[in-house]
């Protein structure tokens, strides 16, 4: 095979591969990138055994395809190309690939392409289409709440439950929860029921890789999911196991509700976090026009007051993780937020004041003495 393209294009391909390129795996062939050069396109495939990213580069004035072929380019090839500029030529002969730029020529040993695992063909259960901003909102509202420990593998994912055209995405690590409802008419079948758990890491990688000025298609299969965006396809194996029913965890009635300016509240909690023990801060809500926020540890303590816009309900004292709280605030786009409490030791909910925003964040309080 022989083709030429600008090094910046190859660098973007390498960047999109992210952690999948050279991921730790027991299958040596997966440390490389399957490269298939056809008459009108070049396909680059990288996988860690669970997730697979396929990128297509079309023949154009900037991409010249001279001869076709298939090989597996090693990780070192892409590491080297990142340091190059301008038009490069890539050519294989036997098990050697050569990249040429002007008078510079570098050679690498390739692997046998026939050994690269193939993506199993399956009939899709459903196909959904989201605008780029909507897909980003789904990921930012949920993925960070997933567990990072493998103690309960199913909690490391984001659960998608679809009934007809209504989809609910939810994640939880047992201490907090992110939830968003999405309604789309772009379904392959209108009466499809889906309940599956997608790795949160796959959603995050897809959102970082994709061009979110374009639509994102989510194609659901029996044991995997595919995200399609322009010329990039990201396949991920679904997480097995029953995701817990989290709907019963979300309170429907509240004893205290307040609205805040998100930025002012976030900046205050961020400051007090530095003086907190195990990241815990305390809110005291009383008859005054301000919420009293405090934090302390063995060496420091801090106090602040933040005005609220509106209060409904009872006085309350509650403590919780400032880290979880700040991450929840960052997931909300609107400047005005509503926080709803139902007791000092019950989960509380953070929402946007915009009723059209269907996302919510839930945090469990902690006991302090």
- The pLDDT tens digits of the residues spanning 43-77 come to 999 999 899 999 999 999 899 999 999 999 999 99
Banded pLDDT at 163 (limits 50, 70, 90): confident
C-alpha distances (whole Å) from 145 to each of 149, 177, 246, 265 are 12, 6, 13, 20
Q: Domains of the chain, with CATH numbers? A: 2-115 (3.10.150.10), 126-247 (3.10.150.10), 250-363 (3.70.10.10)
Q: What are phi and psi of 266, to 5 degrees?
A: -60, -45
Helix (H) or strand (E) holding 268: helix 262-273
Reading the block at residue 187, the tokens are 């379904």
Side by side, which strands form the sheet with 69-73? 69-73, 33-37, 41-47, 51-58, 232-237, 224-229, 216-220, 126-130
- Does the pLDDT of residue 165 top 90, yes or no? no
- Cα separation, 142 vs 201, whole angstroms: 11
pTM of the model: 0.92
In tens, the pLDDT along 243-296 reads 999 988 999 999 999 999 999 999 999 999 988 888 999 999 999 999 999 999
Pairwise pLDDT comparison (229 vs 22), residue with the higher score = 229
Q: What are phi and psi of 227, to 5 degrees?
A: -110, 125
- Cα separation, 306 vs 328, whole angstroms: 18
Banded pLDDT at 17 (limits 50, 70, 90): very high
- Asked if 347 and 339 count as a contact pair (C-beta separation under 8 A), the reply is no
In tens, the pLDDT along 84-122 reads 999 999 999 999 999 999 889 999 999 989 989 988 788
Mapping DSSP onto H, E and C, the string for 116-152 reads CCCCCCCCCCEEEEECHHHHHHHHHHHHHHCCCCCCC
């Amino acid at each position: 095979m022989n083709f030429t393209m600008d090094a910046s294009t190859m660098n973007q391909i390498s960047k999109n591969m992210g952690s999948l390129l050279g991921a730790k795996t027991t299958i040596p062939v997966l440390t490389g990138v399957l490269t298939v050069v056809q008459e009108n396109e070049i396909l680059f495939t990288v996988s860690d055994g669970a997730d697979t990213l396929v990128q297509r580069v079309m023949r154009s004035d900037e991409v010249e395809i001279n001869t076709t072929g298939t090989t597996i380019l090693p990780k070192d090839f892409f590491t080297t190309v990142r340091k190059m500029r301008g038009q490069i030529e890539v050519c294989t002969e036997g098990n050697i690939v050569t990249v040429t730029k002007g008078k510079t020529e570098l050679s690498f040993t390739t692997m046998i392409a026939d050994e690269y695992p193939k993506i199993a063909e399956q009939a899709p259960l459903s196909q959904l289409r989201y605008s780029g901003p909507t897909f980003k909102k789904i990921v930012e509202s949920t993925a960070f709440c997933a567990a990072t420990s493998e103690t309960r593998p199913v909690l490391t994912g984001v659960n998608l439950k679809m009934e007809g055209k209504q989809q609910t995405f939810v994640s939880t690590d047992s201490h907090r929860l992110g939830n968003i409802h999405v309604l789309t008419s772009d379904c392959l079948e209108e009466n499809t029921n889906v309940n599956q758990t997608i790795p949160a890491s796959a959603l995050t990688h897809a959102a970082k890789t994709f061009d979110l000025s374009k639509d994102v298609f989510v194609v659901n299969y029996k044991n995997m999911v595919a995200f399609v965006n322009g010329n990039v396809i990201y396949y991920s194996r679904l997480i097995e196991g029953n995701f817990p029913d989290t709907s019963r965890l979300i309170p429907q009635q509240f004893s205290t509700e307040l609205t805040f300016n998100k930025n002012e509240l976030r900046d205050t909690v961020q400051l007090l976090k530095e003086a907190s023990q195990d990241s815990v801060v305390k809110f005291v809500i009383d008859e005054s026009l301000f919420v009293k926020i405090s934090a302390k540890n063995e060496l420091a303590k801090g106090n602040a007051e933040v005005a609220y816009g509106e209060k409904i309900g009872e006085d309350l004292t509650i403590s919780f993780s400032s880290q979880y709280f700040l991450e929840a605030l960052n997931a909300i786009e609107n400047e005005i937020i509503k926080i709803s409490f139902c007791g000092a030791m019950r989960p509380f909910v953070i929402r946007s004041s915009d009723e059209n925003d269907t996302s919510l964040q839930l945090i469990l309080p902690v006991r302090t003495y």
